[in-house]
Structure 1
Amino acid sequence: MLMAGQGGAWTMGDVVEKSLEGPLAPSTDEASQKRGDLVEILNGDKVKFDDTGLSLILQNGLDTLRVENALTDVILCVDIQEFSCHRVVLAAASNYFRAMFCNDLKEKYEKRIIIKGVDAETMHTLLDYTYTSKALITKQNVQRILEAANLFQIISERTKPRMHEFQSEVFMIIGGCTKDERFVAEVTCLDPLRRSRLEVAKLPMTEHELESENKKWVEFACVTLKNEVYISGGKETQHDVWKYNSSINKWIQIEYLNIGRWRHKMVVLGGKVYVIGGFDGLQRINNVETYDPFHNCWSEAAPLLVHVSSFAATSHKKKLYVIGGGPNGKLATDKTQCYDPSTNKWNLKSSMPVEAKCINAVSFRDRIYVVGGAMRALYAYSPLEDSWCLVTQLSHERASCGIAPCNNRLYITGGRDEKNEVIATVLCWDPEAQKLTEECVLPRGVSHHGSVTIRKSYTHIRRIVPGAVSV
């Protein structure tokens, strides 16, 4: 390729050589500091070549492109200032921007993006750090920078506090119904340590549900994978599946289920999401689907041995457990079904002490805890010993309640008692003290909901009034 210039034609090589005379070519003294290490390891007639300086050259080149506003494809608007950037650089350095640009959100296609929750000076510092690995930290700006780095989920460990001052482990109550059998659109997010509720994006399909006069509740199956919440099902036999990204506080729709269902369960095992059993509108099914987050696709796994719905399910030590449930609309089973992904086979383990459905389970340390249904008790199963034991008695039935581990304790939320009335209390089981206490009272009773645990950032979540959770 030829380019016209004074005194004749320039070749591409001339252009490259001339460009190297610019800012990208450091002085001799600086070069030794910026080129990194060059390591050659001889192995017979082979040489392993490791040039760590190349990454520095690439980083310097990207920063030069940013300064010159070359090849930039997005503008971040903070206060009254604008920052031209490269989407690929932001996504590589920040899980927040990766979620924004790698999912089907409107920001993925927008040239200008308004950024809230951070001031322009702090944003400038973070972008400088992202492109150059350098930042000026002072007593005045250190807290703002750490908070912003946590907000944007900057991947580098250098940007994280030494302790989780800006994050808290919380449990979420998703979907379900109230005492008048109305759909719960809000997601209740509770922080037991700070005794507060956090604001979270409402469930998908909220507008449709609020406009509808149908009072049937939405009963989601839910689970967490890499701090994202996956939900499926809902009303009757829906195929919809959504995931909640805690970094950007949004629900994102993913690939549909192959078989629509409800009153099923979701479990994470080996980096994949399993959707198990349930009711397809005609009968209880034994179908099992697995979701690959990387390829956004569902595939089929070995079917259950016993067709069930409204059962408990969880994973433990590389295996999946399905406990109890209803083989039909009237009966319950005590069967414990175990799935081994290495063989793609199910087998039966020791049965529960009682037959039960409308139950939930959670894996915690070396046990699987099961609660709900008509049981006035919390039971535990030991996969190692293949045995069951009674953990503690409950004062009431808690059919279709939720259970989630949080801060080394188990929290049992809502449910329905023996009079079929919804329960608003949250119970806490402390395994160290072997004690069950009433933790708090929810703003309203709820049942048929999901309950999961995630880590939530405090720097970009507004606390609801402290009195919202009473003890």
Structure 2
Amino acid sequence: MDEESVDELLFKDCDFSSDLLKQLNGLRQNKILTDVSLCASAWEVPCHRNVLASSSLYFRAMFCNNFRESGEAKVHLKGIDAAALEQIVLYVYTGEVRITAERVLPLMEAASMLQYPKLFEACSSYLQSQLTPSNCLGLLRLSDILSCETLKKKAREVALKYFPEVASSADLKELCVLELTDYLGDDELCGEEEKVFEALMVWVKHDVETRKRHMQELLKQVRLQYVHPAFFYHFIASDTLLQTSPACQAILETAKRQMFSFYNTSVPDLKPLCHIPPRNSYQDFLILLGGRKDNQQTTRDVLLYNEQTGQWQDLAKLPTRLYKASAVTLHRSVYVIGGKAVRAGKSLVSPNVYIFSLKLNQWRLGEPMLVARYSHRSTAHKNFIFSIGGLGDKQEGMGSMERYDSICNVWENMASMPVGVLHPAVAVKDQRLYLFGGEDIMQNPVRLIQVYHISRNTWFKMETRMIKNVCAPAVVLGEWIVIVGGYTRRILAYDPQSNKFVKCADMKDRRMHHGAAVIGKKLYVTGGRRLTVDCSIEDSDSFDCYDPETDTWTSLGQLPHKLFDHACLTLQCIPHIANFP
């Protein structure tokens, strides 16, 4: 019968296996019934063939087939450390082994050779727990030698995540060119491209005569389009060793022309750089700074929104309270420009520029503008910041524009706009700077599109009935420039190629003095002021997202507080190396 009888008892001795091992180990220690000795160097230990064959496929093949060792009294195991073999035998007879930093490598090698996979993985787990930026490259190489995929995966993760520290280790200099190329070209590498360049040059200069022939191949791993232009200009393009390689010079010349030229880079004699996205370790963050908080005085607060976690956190505060300053992002830094500086109840129109590093979570003072201004607009293009219009220290309207060169660290006057306006929507697309609408000094809406040709330093204007925005931001979303509200719920998408507008889904409220920025392919709109149905004005803490693919709006909840006249920017950074509080 298949079923147990009711009067039967199945007895299981849970301690039987462990007791049996203890007895076998006692027999081994007393050399009772042992029939083979394992030898490594001058060390040997008596064992039982049947126990060894039962514990390992390696010994089963050795003792259960017609190999010479199957009948020998002593088996010499070459290439195995004696202490490691002793640990292996102890493991076979007790199921236990003590893994330490001094013993783990020879023990792992022995476990690999003698085919004890669980012990091998235990050694791998131990090494994974000991991984640091200083030893991960060495253990990565060891994992290749031992064919240990779990250790290889973990060691590579550490090497990529802590790249700045790993790049400073001595092990980096010992990599072969294939290993270094594979490492520096990995999308998951958590490091800025400037550091990638420095790492490859340290490797080359460790043995210049042998390694300089690999410079071209390695230079291709540096994503030059994401290098800070000042670093490129002063350190990469002028490097004497790279200048000895015509192939490297050709790569740098192409990059230089595309990074620094205002002109269209699709000319026939200029081969474009392959479009390579930034490494996966980079992440876009939403930054809100300054503005009026909870309808009180101008705030110094700086907030960061992490789209992946949906959380807000405070960053280092602005150095001073600034009313109606402008702000842009350039080269992974935030530039806060001009504004009215509020100190001890007094306000002074400021020409100052404050620069924020998300990596350091610190502010520093930059090169001041030529003219103090507030209620102006600023935008960035390539290596330049354009600061446009606004009000001067005598409350006069200004039609002037100045440009900051981030490479030379200087401001210079550029051509003035045709019509001086306050609070226009501003964006740059296809080598042109667009000003949409705004208001004149008497606060009348201006129905104009003013276009600045960047390379020619010239303006022209176009009248249009479609434009009637004031205190509205504009963003570039794909091939469109999107004008977001401005005393209206209306969202307009402008196509510079056809000079046509397309109406998008309306916002819920009529908004102005709000912020807008793009992350990925979506538009985020923050705070501002809204007009109610009875035409009163309320401050807002709303936080909304627009998806152009579905032409729909989604509420993301509320900001930490009500906020308007603030800057809303997208800033790219590597979270792991940023000094977040």
User: How has the CA–CA distance of structure 1 residues 159 and 390 changed in structure 2, closer, same or farther, with 3 Å as cutoff?
Assistant: closer
Does 2:565 correspond to 1:448? yes
SS at match of 1:353: coil
Q: How far apart in 1 are the matches of 2:418 and 2:278?
A: 46
Q: How far apart in 2 are the matches of 1:249 and 1:185?
A: 14
Matched with 2:539 is 422
Does 2:362 correspond to 1:250? yes
Deviation at 1:185, TM superposition (A): 1.4
User: How has the CA–CA distance of structure 1 residues 124 and 388 changed in structure 2, closer, same or farther, with 3 Å as cutoff?
Assistant: closer
Matched with 1:4 is none
Q: How does 1:188-207 map to 2 (within 5 A)?
A: 188-205=303-320
Contact 2:436 2:467 in 1 (8 A): no
Q: How far apart in 2 are the matches of 1:197 and 1:134?
A: 41
Deviation at 1:396, TM superposition (A): 1.2
Matched with 1:183 is 298
Matched with 2:401 is 288
User: How has the CA–CA distance of structure 1 residues 282 and 153 changed in structure 2, closer, same or farther, with 3 Å as cutoff?
Assistant: same
Greater alpha carbon shift after TM alignment, 455-464 vs 349-358: 455-464
User: How has the CA–CA distance of structure 1 residues 284 and 124 changed in structure 2, closer, same or farther, with 3 Å as cutoff?
Assistant: closer
Matched with 1:234 is 339
Q: How does 1:27-426 map to 2 (within 5 A)?
A: 125-128=166-169, 132=173, 134=175, 150=191, 154-156=195-197, 166-205=281-320, 209=321, 218-235=323-340, 237-280=349-392, 281-349=394-462, 351=464, 353-418=466-531, 419-426=536-543
Deviation at 1:355, TM superposition (A): 2.1
* Structure-2-length-normalised TM-score: 0.52
User: How has the CA–CA distance of structure 1 residues 356 and 376 changed in structure 2, closer, same or farther, with 3 Å as cutoff?
Assistant: same
Contact 2:190 2:576 in 1 (8 A): no
Report % sequence identity.
Answer: 22
Q: Which amino acid aligns with 1:232?
A: I
* Structure-1-length-normalised TM-score: 0.63
Q: How far apart in 2 are the matches of 1:383 and 1:255?
A: 33
Contact 2:492 2:501 in 1 (8 A): yes
Contact 2:295 2:563 in 1 (8 A): no
Deviations 1:382-426 (A, max 9, x none): 111112222121221211111100021000111101132211111
SS at match of 2:328: strand
Q: How far apart in 2 are the matches of 1:461 and 1:186?
A: 19
Deviation at 1:230, TM superposition (A): 1.2
Structure with a larger share of its residues in strand = 1
Contact 1:246 1:456 in 2 (8 A): yes
SS at match of 1:417: strand
Deviation at 1:178, TM superposition (A): 1.6
User: How has the CA–CA distance of structure 1 residues 343 and 435 changed in structure 2, closer, same or farther, with 3 Å as cutoff?
Assistant: same
Deviation at 1:318, TM superposition (A): 0.6
Q: How far apart in 2 are the matches of 1:291 and 1:276?
A: 11
SS at match of 2:191: helix
Q: How far apart in 2 are the matches of 1:344 and 1:166?
A: 37
Contact 1:336 1:352 in 2 (8 A): no
SS at match of 1:278: coil
SS at match of 1:315: strand
Contact 2:360 2:578 in 1 (8 A): no
Q: Which amino acid aligns with 2:508?
A: S
SS at match of 1:427: strand
Q: Which amino acid aligns with 1:309?
A: L
User: How has the CA–CA distance of structure 1 residues 354 and 263 changed in structure 2, closer, same or farther, with 3 Å as cutoff?
Assistant: same
Deviation at 1:227, TM superposition (A): 1.5
Deviation at 1:356, TM superposition (A): 2.3
Q: Which amino acid aligns with 1:370?
A: I
Deviation at 1:460, TM superposition (A): 4.4
Deviations 1:295-337 (A, max 9, x none): 1111011100111111111100110011111111421212110
Q: How far apart in 2 are the matches of 1:403 and 1:374?
A: 15
Q: Which amino acid aligns with 1:258?
A: L
Q: How far apart in 1 are the matches of 2:350 and 2:379?
A: 18
**Gaps (5+ residues) in structure 1?**
1-82, 84-117, 136-141, 210-216, 465-471
Deviation at 1:461, TM superposition (A): 5.0
SS at match of 1:359: coil
Deviation at 1:438, TM superposition (A): 0.9
User: How has the CA–CA distance of structure 1 residues 295 and 131 changed in structure 2, closer, same or farther, with 3 Å as cutoff?
Assistant: farther
User: How has the CA–CA distance of structure 1 residues 461 and 200 changed in structure 2, closer, same or farther, with 3 Å as cutoff?
Assistant: farther
User: How has the CA–CA distance of structure 1 residues 430 and 134 changed in structure 2, closer, same or farther, with 3 Å as cutoff?
Assistant: same
Deviation at 1:132, TM superposition (A): 3.1
Q: How far apart in 1 are the matches of 2:359 and 2:453?
A: 33
Indicate the RMSD between aligned Cα atoms, in angstroms.
Answer: 3.4
Structure with a larger share of its residues in helix = 2
Pairs aligned (count) = 331
Bigger Rg, which one: 2
SS at match of 1:173: strand
Matched with 2:232 is none
Q: How far apart in 1 are the matches of 2:452 and 2:319?
A: 31
Greater alpha carbon shift after TM alignment, 327-336 vs 162-171: 162-171
User: How has the CA–CA distance of structure 1 residues 158 and 294 changed in structure 2, closer, same or farther, with 3 Å as cutoff?
Assistant: closer
Deviation at 1:243, TM superposition (A): 1.7
User: How has the CA–CA distance of structure 1 residues 181 and 129 changed in structure 2, closer, same or farther, with 3 Å as cutoff?
Assistant: farther
User: How has the CA–CA distance of structure 1 residues 221 and 352 changed in structure 2, closer, same or farther, with 3 Å as cutoff?
Assistant: farther
Q: Which amino acid aligns with 1:202?
A: K
Deviation at 1:381, TM superposition (A): 1.2
User: How has the CA–CA distance of structure 1 residues 164 and 195 changed in structure 2, closer, same or farther, with 3 Å as cutoff?
Assistant: farther
Q: How far apart in 2 are the matches of 1:347 and 1:158?
A: 42
SS at match of 1:459: helix
**Gaps (5+ residues) in structure 2?**
1-133, 135-158, 177-182, 198-219, 224-276, 341-347
Q: How far apart in 2 are the matches of 1:309 and 1:458?
A: 37
Q: Which amino acid aligns with 1:218?
A: Y
User: How has the CA–CA distance of structure 1 residues 154 and 373 changed in structure 2, closer, same or farther, with 3 Å as cutoff?
Assistant: same
Q: Which amino acid aligns with 1:260?
A: A
Q: How far apart in 1 are the matches of 2:309 and 2:221?
A: 27
Deviations 1:106-135 (A, max 9, x none): xxxxxxxxxxxx9xx998743225983649
Q: How far apart in 1 are the matches of 2:302 and 2:188?
A: 24
Q: Which amino acid aligns with 1:237?
A: V
Q: How far apart in 2 are the matches of 1:342 and 1:149?
A: 35
User: How has the CA–CA distance of structure 1 residues 122 and 461 changed in structure 2, closer, same or farther, with 3 Å as cutoff?
Assistant: closer
Matched with 2:550 is 433
Deviation at 1:454, TM superposition (A): 1.2
Q: How far apart in 1 are the matches of 2:361 and 2:442?
A: 37
User: How has the CA–CA distance of structure 1 residues 163 and 308 changed in structure 2, closer, same or farther, with 3 Å as cutoff?
Assistant: closer
